[in-house]
Structures are given as structure tokens and as C-alpha cells.
Amino acid sequence: MRLWDAVEAALLAWHDAGCPDRSGYGLTVTEDRQYVWLGDPDGPSWDLPA
């Protein structure tokens, strides 16, 4: 995925979620994955580099 496509997708997900403030985000770290999520862990999410 091109960088700008990823930025656009994140911006659209944020807008579709009602433009939440920073408290609307979370971080989950497991043995296999670390990711940031919006709203709740099952909502839109983005993997972080390991």
C-alpha cells in the first residue's frame, strides 16, 4: 500500500467514527502483533512495526 493511501484510509476511518479525540484510541500488544485501534479493539486498527 502506498503511504498516502494508508493516510487517507486512516483519516476516513477516523472521520467515519465521528472524529474522536485521543481518548478514543487504544493499543494492544500480544506475542504475535502490536496494533493501535479506534473505538474498541475490534474496530478499525493499524499494525505497528515490531
The residue extents of the domains of the chain are 3-47
Separation CA 1–CA 16 (nearest Å) = 21
At residue 28, the pLDDT reads 95
The total number of residues shown for the chain amounts to 50
At residue 27, the pLDDT reads 94
At residue 1, the pLDDT reads 67
Q: Residue 45, Cβ neighbours under 10 Å: how many?
A: 19
Over residues 3-50, the pLDDT tens digits come to 898 889 888 888 988 888 888 899 999 999 999 998 889 988 888 887
3-class DSSP assignment, residue 48: coil
For 1-43, the three-class secondary structure string (H helix, E strand, C coil) is CCHHHHHHHHHHHHHHCCCCCHHHEEEEECCCCEEEEECCCCC
